[in-house]
Each structure stands twice: as C-alpha cells, then as structure tokens.
Structure 1
C-alpha cells in the first residue's frame, strides 16, 4: 500500500530490485508508489507469487477455527460477520463497506468469506439501514437518506466495538459508495490500513488528508478512478 499524500518517488517493475521489492511490500515506505503493467509478465508473476506466499503465511500461522458466517450487531449495526473471532488468532479485523446495493449482496459476502479464510475477522456492516438502492427509484433521492457521511459516523461506532473485543489492528475496504466511507476513515488514526475500490464521491483533496496507508483500485476504463487520476 502507498500513502498518496506525499508521494516522492516511483519504483517501476523494470527495476532490477523489483522482485525483492514486491516481496517486502508489508514494509513499504508510505512515500512509495508501485506501478504494475499488465504487459510485464515478470512483474505480474512476482506480484502473484508474493500474494500467494502471503496467504500461505497467514494459513500456516493461524491455528484458530474459522467460524461460520453469522449476522450480529456491532455497535448496534447489523453486520455479516465471519472469520476468527479471537483477536489473538486473527491477524486483523477487516471492515468491508458495501456499495449502494448493501451488505446482503451475494458477491460481497462471498468476498468476505474469502478474506476471512486467509486469517482475518471480517465484518460487513449494514450502513444502508436495511434499505439498499433500487435501480427503479431515484438515486439522488435515495442518497439524501443514505449519505456516505452518515455511513462514516456509523463506521466509527463499529470500529469502537471491534476494539472493545480486543482487536488492535483494524483495516477497511470500501466499494463505490463505501469508498467514500473508507476514504473518510483513512483520515483518522483509529484505523491502520485502508483500500477503496472504484470509489465514488472521493476527491483529490480527500486523498491529501489521508493519515494511514491507502490503496486506490480503479479499473482500466474506470470513469470515477481513471489511471491518470490515481498517478
């Protein structure tokens, strides 16, 4: 992950030290930005190997029992919860913040299960109050009652609940609508690592206020997060 507040240099995949660099990504300086080219097979192979090694490490060192998914309240917020509930066994507590289609979206829950299997305690809170967006209705009207700002305030409550359970390391990933929620969380010191994917409503000024490691993932033809904006 790279802190995008004060990027000072870039490391290209053509760098002879690339393979070592990607394998040490957990110790990256926050002023470093790494670019990957889909045409650079060596770079992609190294990145994939590093990711595989990381997952293997989590699996090897985690001796806990992966719990079955349940729905429970975190700070009074209904949440889909899965993973290792013992903070001594889970590597990190992860909060996944949904897009406008809510915490019951099947693909989001499948992703939560996959993240949990890698050694995490995962929570997917219902920040939309049981009322996900219906494409047949007006989105501007819906957003008035489901603002990311309100989601951000509720997320802080969830974080406090996780801390009360003993989790000292907490990360968050937000998708589209949830990207704004996590972008706001990244401005706080109460969370340790963040990721926003195809974020909506996030501005360059927001990024300048980030205080923790942040990864921004946008697709090649992503209108909201085009490559030229991310770099």
Structure 2
C-alpha cells in the first residue's frame, strides 16, 4: 500500500472560526456544499473529497470558500450518507468498524453522481480533485481521463499501490513529517511509484505538524497555521498550472 489504514488521528483536531459564504444544496439526494467564484463561472471546478468528518465541518467549508476566491467553482459532497464521524469522536469509537460501511462500493456511486452532474448540468469543463485523508484514496482512483483532470491530496489514508499506479493525470501531495498513516516508508514508496510513471507529480513535506493538519490543525500555533496556509497555496498553484487555460 502507498498509505496505511484509518486510525485515531483521522478523527481529532481543532475547529476553525469564520463565516462561510457557500451554501448546502442537493445533487439528487446528495447533500453538497457549493461555493462559487466571484464571476459565477463553473468552467474551472474543484471537487473536494473530505476526511471522515465530512462536508458539514466548517474547516473544510472555509477551505472551499478560499478556493472559490481564487476563481474556482467548488463542491463538497457528503460521501457518507449522513454517517460522518463527529470531530473528536466519543471514547470507544472504532474507526475500522465504521469504515466497513464506507468502502468503494458505497462511496463511488456518490462520486459518480456528482461528477456526472458537474460534467453535465453544471457545465464544468476542467475538474480538479482535492482529497483530504479518506478522500485521498478516491482522488487517486478518479484521476483518470474524463473524470478528474488534476489531483491534490494531503496526508492520504488507505491508498493502495495499484491505485497510485493507475493515475493518469498530474498529482500533488502534501505530507506531515509525523504521520503514522502516510509514513516515511509510505511516502518513499509513493515517490518511487510516481517517479516510474509519465505524469507530473510533487510531494511536499511539512515539519511540526501531524496527520490531518491541512484541515484540522490548531491555528493558534504559528507553525501549524503556516503549514496549513502553505498547503493551500500548493494546491492553488497546482490547479492554476494544470486546470486553467
């Protein structure tokens, strides 16, 4: 595998303050956060595939608004049919029991529906995929012609080597130096896989942060805030290069 299974660190973190600008609407029966750029164009789009805490988390909604402010139409679908994991979940919660109901068999029909809507009714011409933790696996699975045009993932979980080997488009990765899931060994395995392929790739490593930092870090700690901001800038630069004309 190119990253390990879900663990305790996938469910903990700090809540961020802010006022969101987007809105929750349905794509068929899928609850989805919509954020539009100032010009309301949907041509350059980003699909955010979340961590297990899901699309209602204010942290990820604020990130979607940031992408919208950079000129992208952004969607965050509920990947879990209302069964997301509460942040800092109750004692005794077993993440591996939970994930049995959220495997590709359950998750991919949701992504397929949203991508079909984006390519059709919503008029998206180029789509980038952002995958945080749980979502990183699916950015890799969908980074193929006609699905996602470019990908960005941060501290991914459950990515299998053959999924990474199967990507057909440019991929940027952000990693934490202290990560028991996307470990040093797994990062190097991923680098070896990507280096053997004919796709653009990038791997950036950040000190003083842990798994989940790009969404759930403690913003009162300057180094964590700096790393989170740099990860966002990394993603924007990647999509500006590989999505926009």
Are 1:144 and 2:103 counterparts?
no
Q: Is 1:196 aligned with 2:157?
A: no
Q: Decide which of 84, 87, 107 is 2:59's aligned counterpart.
A: 107
Asked whether the equivalents of residues 50 and 132 of structure 2 are also in contact (C-alpha less than 8 Å), the reply is yes
Distance 1:176 1:195 in 2: 11
Q: Secondary structure at the match of 2:82?
A: coil
Q: Map 1:33-44 onto structure 2 (within 5 A).
A: none
After TM superposition, list the pairs within 5 Å mapping 1:14-93 onto structure 2: 68-84=21-37, 89-90=41-42, 92-93=44-45
Question: Alignment partner of 1:172: what SS?
Answer: strand
Specify the SS of the correspondent of 1:218: strand
Give me the TM-score of the superposition, normalised by structure 2: 0.61
Q: Which runs of 5+ in 1 are unaligned?
A: 1-66
1:130 aligns with 2:82: yes
Q: Distance in 1 between matches of 2:166 and 2:181?
A: 19
Q: In 1, Cα distance between the equivalents of 2:95 and 2:63?
A: 26
Aligned-partner SS, 2:162 = helix
Structure having greater relative contact order (Cα 8 Å, sep ≥ 6): 2
- Give the number of the structure whose alpha-carbon radius of gyration is greater: 1
TM-score, length-scaled by structure 1: 0.64
Shift, 1:230, TM fit: 3.6
Q: How far off is 1:228 after superposition?
A: 2.3
Q: What is the root-mean-square deviation of aligned Cα atoms in Å?
A: 2.2
Residues 1:228 and 2:227 aligned together: no
The Cα shift of 1:209 comes to 0.8
1:6 alignment counterpart: none
> What is the CA-CA distance between 1:112 and the residue it aligns to?
0.6
For the 8 Å contact 2:38–2:68, the answer to whether it is kept is no
Over 3 Å counting, the alpha-carbon distance change for 1:85 and 1:157 in structure 2 is farther
Distance in 2, Cα, partners of 1:158 & 1:86: 22
Match in the other structure for 1:120: 72
1:98 aligned partner: 50
Q: Secondary structure at the match of 2:75?
A: strand
